[in-house]
């Protein structure tokens, strides 16, 4: 079989690229190792930068997002009983959209299937071959039957544990990593959000985040030990700990209920360079990971897709490879800024096991400075709504 672009990974990156290319008449196939339901069962991101929102609209899949998503023009930073707001709109003129990754991935699947897009599920043994040649190809198995796809280009959208990054020789790859000494325990509950904006909360006991998906679906996180497992936390224990980590006025207003999803995500910062090797292009979590504190993971995958999509269109329409040749450098320039913001917000709001009294004073001074300085809030807002593509 032959296609123009072979996309490995049917998460948001791969699906968004496939849908955008389709709208330009560029043929692709998406190879996904799990099932559609499995992919949709993963509860992950919730905040979309303006750039991502525009891309979804350009891909023709923005209708439900625009109808059901929430525009948020600011957020709350809390510490102990103190709190203050940062207005994204006042500082940047833009906002963010609250719309779950699960829903946007569903919209992308629906659109690809409505267009009879080529989506292959339950693929195994995916291998990328001759990526350095003019005639790369991908092999894989489904139900024990071997398949081969000849293509012009390969998009590695297969996440942190995928095969694409590993295809680039270690002699070529440079990897940068920081593993944080804590994780996030996340709970989804069919309860009304505790506040109309997100609350990022520093507390003596550790970080907490109050987020949401809609008027009756809330998403909460608490910093937890890496040795924890979700089974260690009853709903009662989770709610009790969350209440101890947010200002009491919010704790008293919190509506609790049974968790419908409970999971722990380890936190790491990771980047691999370059993000291109011959005809193979890495996108999203296949190339980089951030701690979710800055809501940058999914949004940085979107900017990768923006650059690659435009590079591919330029090639297929004008036979010009300038966009593709610039992809890695351009994508990495924005990736590293997202890494910085995610790392700095994580350091600002989490309790580290080895923190000294001086370290705590530095965190408090940093939060106080952010509270009182317009320029500091502008910088925070510019990063949170998303730096320019």
Contact 32/39 with Cβ under 8 angstroms? yes
Other CB atoms within a 10 A radius of the CB of residue 286 amount to: 29
**Is 292 part of the annotated catalytic residue set?**
yes
Residues 135-154 that bind ligand FAS (CB under 6 A): none
Q: Give the separation between CA 333 and CA 327, rounded to whole angstroms.
A: 10
Active site residue: 195, 288, 296, 306, which one?
296
Report residue 350 as tokens: 């989490």
Closest separation in Å from C-beta 319 to ligand FAS: 28
x-or-dash string of contact with ligand FAS, 279-298, rule CB under 6 A: -----xx------x--xxxx
Q: Which range touches ligand PHB (CB under 6 A), out of 49-57, 133-141, 289-297, 351-359? A: 289-297
Count of positions (residues) in the chain: 389
Closest separation in Å from C-beta 112 to ligand FAS: 14
> Of 6, 8, 17, 47, which lies in the binding site for ligand PHB, with binding defined by CB under 6 A?
47
- Looking at residue 2, what DSSP letter applies? B
231 CB contacts (<8 Å, ≥6 apart)? none
> Of 151, 290, 295, 385, which lies in the binding site for ligand PHB, with binding defined by CB under 6 A?
295
Contact 79/203 with Cβ under 8 angstroms? yes
Active site residue: 22, 262, 292, 306, which one?
292
Beta bridge partners of 211: 219
- By CB under 6 A, how many residues form the interface with ligand PHB? 10
Q: Taking the alpha carbons of 211, 212, 215, 216 in that order, is the dihedral positive or negative?
A: negative
C-alpha 289, offset from chain centre: 8
From the list ligand PHB, ligand FAS, none, partner contacted by residue 293 (C-beta under 5 to 8 A by kind): ligand PHB
> Of 65, 157, 224, 254, which lies in the binding site for ligand FAS, with binding defined by CB under 6 A?
157
Contact 335/288 with Cβ under 8 angstroms? yes
Contact 283/8 with Cβ under 8 angstroms? no
**Is 384 part of the annotated catalytic residue set?**
yes
Q: Contact positions toward ligand PHB, by CB under 6 A? A: 45-47, 198, 209, 211, 219, 292-293, 295
Q: Contact positions toward ligand FAS, by CB under 6 A? A: 8-14, 31-34, 39, 44-45, 101, 123, 126, 157-159, 161-163, 265, 284-285, 292, 295-298, 301
Which residues are catalytically annotated?
72, 200, 292, 296, 384
């Amino acid at each position: 079989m032959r296609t123009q672009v072979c996309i490995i990974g049917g998460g948001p990156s791969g699906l968004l690229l496939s849908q955008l290319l389709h709208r330009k008449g560029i043929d692709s196939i998406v190879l996904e190792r799990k099932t559609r339901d499995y992919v949709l069962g993963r509860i992950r991101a919730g905040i979309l930068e303006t750039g991502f929102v525009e891309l979804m609209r350009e891909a023709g899949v923005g209708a439900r997002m625009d109808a059901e998503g929430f525009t948020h023009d600011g957020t709350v930073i809390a510490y102990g009983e103190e709190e203050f707001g940062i207005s994204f709109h006042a500082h940047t003129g833009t906002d963010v959209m609250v719309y779950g990754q699960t829903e946007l991935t569903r919209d992308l699947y629906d659109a690809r299937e409505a267009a009879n897009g080529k989506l292959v599920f339950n693929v195994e043994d995916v291998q990328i071959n001759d990526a350095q040649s003019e005639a790369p190809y991908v092999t894989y198995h489904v139900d024990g039957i071997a398949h081969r796809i000849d293509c012009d280009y390969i998009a590695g959208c297969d996440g942190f544990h995928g095969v694409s990054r590993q295809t680039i020789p270690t002699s070529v790859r440079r990897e940068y990593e920081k593993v944080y000494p804590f994780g996030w325990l996340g709970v989804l509950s069919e309860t009304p959000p505790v506040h109309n904006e997100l609350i990022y909360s520093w507390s003596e006991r550790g970080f907490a985040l109050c987020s949401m998906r809609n008027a009756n679906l809330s998403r909460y996180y608490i910093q937890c030990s890496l040795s924890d497992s979700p089974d260690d936390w009853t709903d009662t224990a989770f709610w009790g700990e969350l209440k101890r980590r947010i200002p009491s006025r919010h704790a008293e207003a919190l509506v609790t209920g049974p968790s419908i999803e409970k999971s722990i995500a380890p936190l790491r910062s990771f980047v691999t360079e370059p993000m291109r090797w011959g005809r193979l292009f890495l996108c999203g979590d296949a190339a980089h990971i951030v701690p979710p504190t800055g809501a940058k993971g999914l949004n940085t995958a979107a900017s990768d897709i923006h650059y690659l999509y435009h590079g591919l269109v330029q090639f297929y329409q004008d036979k010009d490879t300038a966009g593709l040749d610039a992809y890695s450098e351009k994508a990495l320039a924005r990736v590293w800024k997202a890494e910085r913001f995610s790392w700095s917000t994580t350091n600002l709001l989490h309790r580290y096991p080895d923190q000294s009294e001086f370290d705590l004073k530095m965190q408090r001074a940093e939060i106080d400075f952010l509270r009182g300085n317009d320029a500091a809030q502008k910088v925070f807002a510019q990063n949170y709504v998303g730096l320019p593509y």
